[in-house]
Chains A and B, each alone.
Chain A
Amino acid sequence: MTRVALDLMGGDHAPAAVLDGALLVADEAPDVEAVLVGPPDVASRLLAERDQAGRFEVVAATEVVGMDEDPARAIRKKRDATVRVCARLVRDGQADAMVSVGSTGAALAAAVFTLGRLRGVSRPPLAVVVPAKNGPLVFLDAGATPDAGADLLAQYALAGSAFAAIRLGLPEPRVGLLTNGEEAGKGDAVRKAAYDRLSALPIRFIGNVEGRDVPIGGVADVIVTDGFTGNVLVKGLEGAASMLTEVLLAAMTSTPERKAAAKELLPAFGEATAHMSPDVLGGAVLLGVDGVVVVGHGASSARAVASCIGVAVQAVQEGLVPKISGVLGALKDEREAMA
């Protein structure tokens, strides 16, 4: 049984979408136990409305970190914040993982303060597995730390390479640096400095990659960038995928003749677009904290929350944290010995 602490109050559609996501998982994965973390009266009311009273363990937490608050200071001040209590459950061994679709900064701060960082990671990045056309790849940082210098990008490259080796089963993942041109020397000052840093790391650095390499794939197994660029790119891709789906559907059904012909194509169309949906992609894993933490999109639906829980369960089952810790710790030891 894998126990996942769920931030009941995080996200644009919380608490209903979070609870409904937990119900989907309870129905579909009996070996996963969601623990609802939030105000007990809210949880009880929602469960009663769905005739599911007593279905989940509820752990009381009464404070919520607002999207307009400084996450670090809010987490410090609000010891009883839902996301902080989730992290505490993981730290104390009462849950195997935590999931929040609320404030990313709050989840990051709660994880760092409560679980602690692994050696060699000063800022844990959010890593997401992108189902690119030519095969899945790891993309990080999807939005944990907006300002990242070359040192941090080098840490992300190491952590991302270790994550891809575990998640994608690749012994030597190809690591690319996201910038505005493939040639060495492209990019701003941070990218240029990062290029040199990544070249010196004990990873398979293949050089610069461009934005199109994220959805198309096939060039790199790991694509590294700062959290600002990463978040903008991920949301841009989501918007583009959604726009393309809607435009194609509208064109395919714009006349009675097309609508009739589209009946044959719609199942294939649905199949092709389903794997790009945020509902199915799940959340991003916060790499480099001493526990499994998955952060989802603020606009997550119930299905997206369920997918986030799935990502967390996979990370627990594959032993992600001890494996990443081992790899990063060994590299840190090696570099310190050489210094």
Chain B
Amino acid sequence: MTSEEVLDVVRGAVVTVLEVDPASVTRETSFADDLNADSLALVEIVEIVEETLAPKARAGFHIEDEDLDGLTTVGAAVDYAVARL
């Protein structure tokens, strides 16, 4: 998958969970500062992204819990996922 395709997956998860306008979700969007996403929202987004990407990824694709704190922006989450697909 391309970075743009993964961005669409992450954007879709964000829109589903936080019910925001898709156009407002870019690579630079911060989960905490721009989207006010709390811990529950972040984990929900992560679970949707994992579920969507798993069939298209290498076996065992998983977003590690200890890496979550570093994924502060949509772009960071996209790059993280692309590197592990």
23 A/B residue pairs, CB under 8 Å, sorted by A: A70-B39, A71-B39, A72-B42, A72-B43, A73-B39, A73-B65, A75-B43, A76-B47, A76-B65, A77-B65, A105-B40, A108-B40, A109-B40, A112-B40, A112-B44, A113-B43, A113-B47, A120-B19, A122-B19, A122-B41, A123-B40, A145-B38, A147-B38
Query: At the interface, yes or no: A149 with Cβ under 8 Å from chain B?
Result: yes
Tally of contact residues, B, Cβ under 8 A: 15
User: Which residues on B sit within 8 Å (CB–CB) of A105?
Assistant: 40
> Chain B residue with minimal CB distance to A114?
B47
Judge whether A72 and B40 touch: CB under 8 Å.
Answer: yes
Query: At the interface, yes or no: B18 with Cβ under 8 Å from chain A?
Result: yes
User: Which residues on A sit within 8 Å (CB–CB) of B10?
Assistant: none
Q: Is the interface of B mostly helix, strand, loop or mixed?
A: helix
11 additional A-B residue pairs with CB within 8 Å, beyond A73-B39, A123-B40 = A70-B39, A71-B40, A72-B42, A72-B43, A73-B65, A76-B43, A105-B40, A109-B40, A112-B40, A113-B44, A122-B18
Measured in the bound complex, the distance between the Cα atoms of B47 and A73 in whole Å is 11
Measured in the bound complex, the distance between the Cα atoms of B44 and A175 in whole Å is 30
Give the A-B pair count, Cβ closer than 8 A: 36
Judge whether B36 and A149 touch: CB under 8 Å.
Answer: yes
Measured in the bound complex, the distance between the Cα atoms of B40 and A105 in whole Å is 9
Query: At the interface, yes or no: B46 with Cβ under 8 Å from chain A?
Result: yes
Measured in the bound complex, the distance between the Cα atoms of B17 and A109 in whole Å is 13
Interface readout for A94-124 with B: 1 if CB under 8 Å, 0 if not? 0000000000010011001100000010110
User: Which residues on A sit within 8 Å (CB–CB) of B40?
Assistant: 71-72, 105, 108-109, 112, 123
